[in-house]
Amino acid sequence: MRRRLLSSFRSRLVAAGIAPIILMGVAAAFDSAISATNQKRVSQLFSLDLFMEETLSSVDAVVENLAVYIDTKNSDALRACMHHTKALSEKVGALSGGASYSEDAMLERNLAVLTRRMIAESEAAIRARRGRNIPEYGARYQKVRLLASFIHDRADALSLERLKLNLDAFATLDEQSGRAAALLGAMLASAMIFAAAVVSTFSLKLTDPLDALAAAAVRISEGDFSGGPLSAYGDDEIGQTAEAFNVMQASVEANIEEIKNKAAVEASLMEERLKNLEMEGHLRSAELKALQSRINPHFLFNTLNTGIQLATVEDADRTRVFLERLAGLMRYSFRDLDAPVALRDELACLRDYVYLMRIRFSDSMTFEIAAEPGAESAALPKMIVQPLVENSIRHGFADKPSGARVRVSARIDGGDLVVTIEDNGSGLLEGRAKEILDAADEGRELGNAEGGLGMANVIARLRLFAGRQDVVEFRDANPGTLIVLRVPFKEAF
């Protein structure tokens, strides 16, 4: 058990440090006890001297004030005499001497008896003076003076007796103090020698391995691993530290070699990645242009035929407005497709398209276009909203000759631009939304059937613009279809 307790360097160091502390503590406690005893003796002597001095002072004050009162019958002297008489009565209880028959106890009892007789004679003298009995208060006063003289004698004798006893006690204490001082000095010297030996032994045992450890750490910090592992220093904390340092050195050396190998591999991969990114940028640009070039021209031919018929049967002014709206729509669709546009431009294009559709379908179709403040300045790829509305008209109202309604709205929601296209048409068939999204993922169109024309194109362009996949959501409007577009809000320039 003892070997296990002292097996670690810390436990040995603590044990070696506690031993001299305990020795010095015992020495200090012994010295404190001797000092406390001497101080108590001195305090008792001084307190007794002070008590006797106060008692004798009160005795003299009684005699002096009694003489003044007898001669002049002065009331102040009478009060002073009675005050000191009362003080003497209180001190008499402390002079009982107990049941001991020692010299000082017998002197204390004798002093108490004399003091009580003096108090009684002084009180009798006062009464006689008040009764104007001159012979009696004169005799009483003389007895008071005589008793006061006896009290002084007995007090001096008691002080001498107690001084003798205290001198004997001080001699004994002085002898004990000398022995205690010698013992204390020996204990302190032993503690200092022991502490010096412990410090020397443990400092050498501690600093030698630490010096070797510090030198090895400096060498490794400079990248030099040629020194090899440290020597073992036992099974204590220093030996464990040396073993852990050796493991760390081997691990650091292996990690550095691994990092060098990885750095070489990553350098080649980075060069290849840069080439791939450059090629990917070219591919994305080409893909964007290819997707934008696939917009369905079917609407353009139908509206041109309608314009020709309108010019034939109606006034020239309406034909002019019709052709102006058509020309504006065509100019917008033929603009540079690479740069994003503001939502307000998309909605202006949509309004031109709606005007043309109202001419074509008369009052059988209702359109609503609304945008919250701030939403119209959002950036968006060109030709996004109009193809979706066209899809709703061509495929949602094929079986609905009247009462058709399309509503387009835009708002800002949590840092995103949200555009909704809602119609009350026949809606999407079950599973059709998934087919459209799959086609957008694969970069292909679904053809003319069931509302797939242009939808995959729009979704793919939105994903390229937003840099994420979740840009469109299809919902059942009951009746009809609700399409929700969501892209990050960016201010258009």
**DSSP code at position 483:** E
- Which of 140, 167, 199 is the C-terminal boundary of a domain? 199
Say how far apart CA 55 and CA 43 lie, in whole Å: 18
Q: Is residue 233 within 8 Å of 209, Cβ to Cβ?
A: yes
Answer whether the bond into residue 373 is a cis peptide, omega within 30°: no
Q: Give the position of tokens 């939502």.
A: 343
- The domain total for the chain is 2
Give the domain CATH number at 316. Answer: 3.30.565.10
Which range, 93-102, 197-206, 423-432, 462-471, has the best average confidence (pLDDT)?
462-471
Residues sharing a CB contact under 8 Å with residue 492, sequence separation 6 or more, in sequence order: 340, 341, 342, 343, 377, 378, 379, 380
**Within-domain flag for 402:** yes
- Looking at the fold, whether 80 and 190 belong to one and the same domain comes out as yes
Say how far apart CA 71 and CA 222 lie, in whole Å: 110
pLDDT at 291: 47
- Over residues 471-493, the mean pLDDT reads 89
Q: Is residue 461 within 8 Å of 291, Cβ to Cβ?
A: yes
Give the domain CATH number at 62. Answer: 1.20.1440.210
pLDDT single digits (tens) 328-353: 787 777 666 667 899 999 999 999 98
Bridge pairing between strands 365-371 and 379-380: unpaired
Half-sphere exposure of 40 (CA within 13 A, CB side): 8
Q: Is residue 360 within 8 Å of 302, Cβ to Cβ?
A: yes
- Which of 174, 199, 224 is the C-terminal boundary of a domain? 199
Beta bridge partners of 405: 366
What Cα–Cα distance (Å) separates residue 188 from each residue in 17, 127, 182, 443, 492? 14, 71, 10, 95, 89
Say how far apart CA 423 and CA 391 lie, in whole Å: 11
- Over residues 97-104, the mean pLDDT reads 59
- Which of 179, 199, 219 is the C-terminal boundary of a domain? 199
Written as one letter, the residue type at 65 is: N
- Looking at the fold, whether 182 and 309 belong to one and the same domain comes out as no
pLDDT single digits (tens) 442-454: 877 766 544 434 7
pLDDT single digits (tens) 356-380: 888 877 777 888 999 998 899 999 9
**Within-domain flag for 124:** yes
- Looking at the fold, whether 190 and 298 belong to one and the same domain comes out as no
**pLDDT bucket at 484, cuts 50 / 70 / 90:** very high
**Within-domain flag for 240:** no
pLDDT at 166: 67
